[in-house]
Structure 1
Amino acid sequence: MTLLGGVLALLPFVPNVEVPPEFILPLVLPPLLYAAVYRTSWRQFAANKRPIFLLAVALVFVTTAAVAAVAHTLVPGLGIAGAVALGALVAPPDPIAATTVAGQLGLPRRLVSILEGEGLFNDVTAITLYHVAIAAAVTGTFSVPAAAGELVLSALVAVLVGIALGWATNKLALFLGDATLQTGLSLLVPFASYVLAEELKGSGVLAVLMTALYLSSGRAVDADDVQGRLVGQSFWSIVDTLVTGVAFGLIGLELAVVVGPVSGRWNELLPAALAVVAAVVVLRLAWLLPASWLARRLHHRKDLDEDIPLNWRETTVVWWAGMRGVASVALALAVPLHVEGGKSFPERDAILFIAFAVVLATLVLQGLTLPWLVRKLRVQSDSALEREQERRLAMRCVKAARKRLREIEEAEELPEEISEALLRRAYDVGARISPEIVDEERRETHAKRATRVKKIHRLNGELLSAARHEIMAARGEAGTDPEVCDRVLHQLDLRSYRD
């Protein structure tokens, strides 16, 4: 999408895309963050607090300082506040780009967890630093105590807003009941959380993160809401794909807007951009190597339950997966056009050019070569461990179903044949997840039964398909109410879905 957008930006008949800076962050980040956070859990973040702190907090501060020093030295006229803003907006690796590529490559789950945790929390850290730097550049004043107080207050407000909105959303979703209304509500929630926190001087990104974590927690999820969960997952998969595609396409389309104003300053800005790219990439590796070594030493010593790279090959993959993307572009485009007094923001064009250079260099170069690197280093997921986890979960499913069956038998009298049938179904629940949990004889019986069920399901699908085609044909006939046909077709679709 980025490369395609760049090609379109070079075509003379394609109009330049100019999005007002104040709309970039509220429109792009909330749905992307919400979808990414909803796929994880609070326990995962809690268990990985040390790797997340090293990558998402400490590394963001170090990268911001290094980039600010390089940019302030090489770009005349770029003040310290502007240089810090540039450092903050290129510091956070993009969680969407990294986890999308990582998921397709079959990386170990612990590495994906590290990239997810880093990508989400470093956005919070970097965006807060960015806002402080932008405020200093716009007003011309900066106070360390005031900035520290603003950071603490911003985080506190965001946490309170995020949890409160998550609680209110959960109660409202239970009241609505209907899966369609619940899914529509979920689309509004990340925007509401972001805007409300920002209006109250809090971190909108952290508020969205807390809201999503609350709603994905066990106490806010109805295990029996099957339709709501399936509809919501399908809907957010589509939203995530569309918004991500538009955002990465926007990176390419904005090239004409970014490159045009600095066309006469190539000799000055190109070396500065290359130096910043080198600082971002090299510093990440220089930080990860000792940090990963320290994490492994502490992990073995204290046997902590956290996800860390287990060797230098996994550390190298985590390093090369540090691609910059949507968040960096959104922050760069959100740099104000003017400061107080009406003057232009100092070197805004240079900030945008360097930021886009970092994004393109890391996103295109690292993104396209990461699959090759993973194959070369032979870093793959531990399929045996995943199968073992599936087996344990399957056993828990069987035990839970058998326990509930015993409770039902104590509460009401069931014929023996029904009890036996239900007991077989309890085993089938687990066997479908992990066939290894049953013995050889039961496995063969289950396989035969599964083959018979599949055949019945296939033939039943043929019958329902014939019925659907007949209703679709009737829908176009004179004298037939299309709304009635749609209701009948919906019932057939539900029957196919249940079978």
Structure 2
Amino acid sequence: MDSLLLIIGLMLAAVLLVGAGDRLQLPWPALMVVLGVVMAFVPGLPDRFELEPDLILPLFLPPLLFAAAQRTSWALFRARWRSIALFAVALVGVTIAVVAGTALALVPGITVTAAIALGAMVAPPDPVAVEAVAARVRIPRRLLAVLQSEGLFNDATALVVFQVAVLTTMQGQTLSVPLLAVRFVLGVVVAIALGVAAAWLARFVMSRITDTAGRTALTLILPFAVYLAADRLGASGVVAVVVAALQLRGYSEADEAAERLTQRSFWDVVELLVTGVAFGLIGLDLRQVIDAAGAGLWRMLGHAVVICMVVVGTRAVWMAGAWRLVQHSPDPSAAPRTGRETVVLTWCGMRGLATLALALSLPPTTADGSPFPARSELIVIACAVLVVTLLVPAFTLPVLVRALGVAEEADAEQAAEAVVARRAQQAALARMVEQQQLGALPDELGAPMRERIGRLQAVLCGEPITTEERERLRTLREGRAMFSAIQADALGAARQEVLRARREPGIDPAAADRVLRRLDLRTVLLD
């Protein structure tokens, strides 16, 4: 019961912090990190939360990866395969190597494989954190797309290295680099095939489910099923989930507007609650680690500061090299192309839930019953890297972007939005002309309809309406005000009568609820 109350409390805290973040103009993942750190020192909370380390990754990673992947597309990945290879694979590998070497020099009693596991924990930036922090800031869409694509696939690289390193540590073996490379390639290939097959099967089932709630529920089951199936096959569950999400989103049809709205809202809620619980649990685990560290805590924190600098410095050097590599690239979407973009991409290397989940999943003992090498210090270092790389950019990125003038480039990129809006307007006008030619649209309605469609591009681009248009709209609204007021009043009376009838003993509540729902939908559509 205590565990259930704790989870409910963490979910409520996450909701409250999202509201506080909106008011304070601060990203909610940063506030959740603060919450997790504070929880480590709050008296009266349970001393430990009983959750098997093997369950951490399957519980937390699949829904968050699925939610993040739905916000991108295959076309974007095809266009950015160079960035994925450069940042999601090569940079992660270099970071793992540098961090592991630093940990071997600093941490007493650590083994090579445990040091590599630490490097894998702190190497991958998190797409959820990047989305929450960088999306609030007016940076060029090119940079945000690079960060998102990096965040979705770098987890696969880090997770494969982490799992192999932990397994060899548990068994007391020596890490084989060729075996690791072969396992990575085979795992990715099998995961891609599994993700595509799972998405096709899910779409086949969804086509036979007419209820929107049922179809949405299937998308909740899908990432867990795909992740577990990939794990059983020895493949990358991260890649399988991302591929399934991309493929399923690619099947979306034009007339599924209501379903897309429902699923987007649903996954926003899932992402929020799962992240809140995860950050709260790391606070509890951090308290256990602090208690176990005892007098050695300050030494651990000193090592953590050094590794934080190594992580940030490695990313800075890599981004500077990438700038030299792509600044003359013919690909207009390549980044970073300037020194200012290099600074922004370096600053946005935010660690998040992947680091948390990997830290929590470290087993307490090895196969022979001995303690996992330097486990407490590994968790302290991982938490320190997360706090530094997430909190510092979250609170300073807006100032940095304004100081560098990067927001000016973001304004220029709005032309791409205008192109899409123009295509939408032209498609709407062409369909209206077809309707007129078929006689489905009376001529007397053609002119006002064309006028409204002519305004569509500006509306889709978010442009303000002109004074003349505002006056015309005001006149129309005044003419409809009385009719709307009467109709709204009538619908209000209808809802009251339905609610009154629902309370009567001879009325079926389910039937009343169905009528009430239709009345609510009618009212929303009129609004």
Q: Taking structure 2 as the reference length, what is the TM-score of the superposition?
A: 0.85
> Does structure 1 residue 372 correspond to structure 2 residue 399?
yes
Aligned-pair CA distance for 1:367: 2.5
Aligned-pair CA distance for 1:346: 1.8
Query: In the alignment, which residue of structure 2 is the partner of 1:204?
Result: 237
| C-alpha spacing 1:77/1:476, structure 2 compared with 1 (3 Å) | same
Matched residues in 2 for 1:465 and 1:85: separation?
61
**Aligned ranges 1:97-496 → 2 under 5 Å:** 97-139=129-171, 140-217=173-250, 220-266=251-297, 268-298=299-329, 302=330, 304-380=331-407, 382=409, 384-385=411-412, 387-408=414-435, 415-417=442-444, 419-420=446-447, 423-424=450-451, 426-434=453-461, 444=468, 448-449=472-473, 452=476, 456=480, 459=485, 461=488, 464-465=491-492, 467-476=494-503, 480-496=507-523
Matched residues in 1 for 2:470 and 2:372: separation?
70
> Does structure 1 residue 27 correspond to structure 2 residue 54?
no
| C-alpha spacing 1:447/1:110, structure 2 compared with 1 (3 Å) | farther
Matched residues in 1 for 2:494 and 2:281: separation?
45
Q: For residue 108 of structure 2, what is the amino acid of its counterpart?
A: P
Q: Deviations over 1:463-497 (max 9, x none)?
A: 54454345445544565543333122101121123
| C-alpha spacing 1:464/1:5, structure 2 compared with 1 (3 Å) | farther
Between 485-494 and 61-70, report the one with greater CA deviation. 485-494
Query: In the alignment, which residue of structure 1 is the partner of 2:3?
Result: none
Q: Deviations over 1:418-460 (max 9, x none)?
A: 555654554354453258899x9xx946862476259848645
Contact 1:292 1:315 in 2 (8 A): yes
Query: In the alignment, which residue of structure 1 is the partner of 2:16?
Result: none
Q: Of the candidates 46, 52, 65, which is equivalent to residue 97 of structure 2?
A: 65
Matched residues in 2 for 1:462 and 1:321: separation?
52
Structure 1: stretches of 5+ with no match in the other structure: none
Q: Deviations over 1:94-142 (max 9, x none)?
A: 2211220111223221121111111111111111111121122122143
Aligned-pair CA distance for 1:74: 1.1
Q: Deviations over 1:178-235 (max 9, x none)?
A: 2111111111111111111111100000000100111122xx0111012111111111
| C-alpha spacing 1:415/1:273, structure 2 compared with 1 (3 Å) | closer
| C-alpha spacing 1:152/1:356, structure 2 compared with 1 (3 Å) | same
Aligned-pair CA distance for 1:279: 0.5
Matched residues in 1 for 2:341 and 2:478: separation?
41
Aligned-pair CA distance for 1:379: 2.9
Contact 1:51 1:295 in 2 (8 A): no
Aligned-pair CA distance for 1:388: 3.0
Matched residues in 1 for 2:214 and 2:459: separation?
32
Q: Deviations over 1:119-174 (max 9, x none)?
A: 11111111111112112212214333322221111111111111110111111111
| C-alpha spacing 1:437/1:234, structure 2 compared with 1 (3 Å) | closer
Matched residues in 1 for 2:453 and 2:193: separation?
43
Q: For residue 399 of structure 1, what is the amino acid of its counterpart?
A: Q
SS at match of 1:360: helix
Matched residues in 2 for 1:228 and 1:210: separation?
20
Matched residues in 2 for 1:215 and 1:250: separation?
31
Q: Deviations over 1:49-82 (max 9, x none)?
A: 2222222111111110010001011112111111
Q: Deviations over 1:229-285 (max 9, x none)?
A: 111111111111111222223333322022121123235423322211110011111
Structure 2: stretches of 5+ with no match in the other structure: 1-31
Contact 2:122 2:382 in 1 (8 A): yes
Matched residues in 1 for 2:82 and 2:365: separation?
39
Q: For residue 184 of structure 1, what is the amino acid of its counterpart?
A: A
Query: In the alignment, which residue of structure 1 is the partner of 2:115?
Result: 83
> Does structure 1 residue 42 correspond to structure 2 residue 66?
no
Matched residues in 2 for 1:285 and 1:454: separation?
59
Matched residues in 2 for 1:362 and 1:341: separation?
36
Using the aligned pairs only, state the percent identity: 41
Q: For residue 339 of structure 2, what is the amino acid of its counterpart?
A: W
Paired residue total: 490
Q: For residue 343 of structure 2, what is the amino acid of its counterpart?
A: T
Matched residues in 2 for 1:106 and 1:413: separation?
44
Matched residues in 1 for 2:302 and 2:194: separation?
43
Contact 1:391 1:437 in 2 (8 A): no
Aligned-pair CA distance for 1:325: 1.6
Aligned-pair CA distance for 1:361: 2.3
Q: For residue 66 of structure 2, what is the amino acid of its counterpart?
A: Y
SS at match of 2:319: helix
Aligned-pair CA distance for 1:16: 2.8
Contact 2:155 2:238 in 1 (8 A): yes
Q: For residue 3 of structure 1, what is the amino acid of its counterpart?
A: V
Contact 1:31 1:191 in 2 (8 A): yes
Contact 1:5 1:249 in 2 (8 A): yes
Q: Deviations over 1:284-327 (max 9, x none)?
A: 111111212321122xxx2x142423432232122112121210
Q: Of the candidates 99, 124, 127, which is equivalent to residue 92 of structure 1?
A: 124
CA RMSD of aligned residues (A): 2.7
Matched residues in 2 for 1:117 and 1:208: separation?
14
Q: For residue 324 of structure 2, what is the amino acid of its counterpart?
A: W
Between 85-94 and 356-365, report the one with greater CA deviation. 356-365
Contact 1:2 1:251 in 2 (8 A): no
Aligned-pair CA distance for 1:336: 2.1
SS at match of 1:346: coil
Q: For residue 282 of structure 1, what is the amino acid of its counterpart?
A: G
Matched residues in 2 for 1:451 and 1:336: separation?
69
Between 20-29 and 389-398, report the one with greater CA deviation. 389-398
Aligned-pair CA distance for 1:36: 0.6
Q: For residue 57 of structure 2, what is the amino acid of its counterpart?
A: L
Between 149-158 and 457-466, report the one with greater CA deviation. 457-466
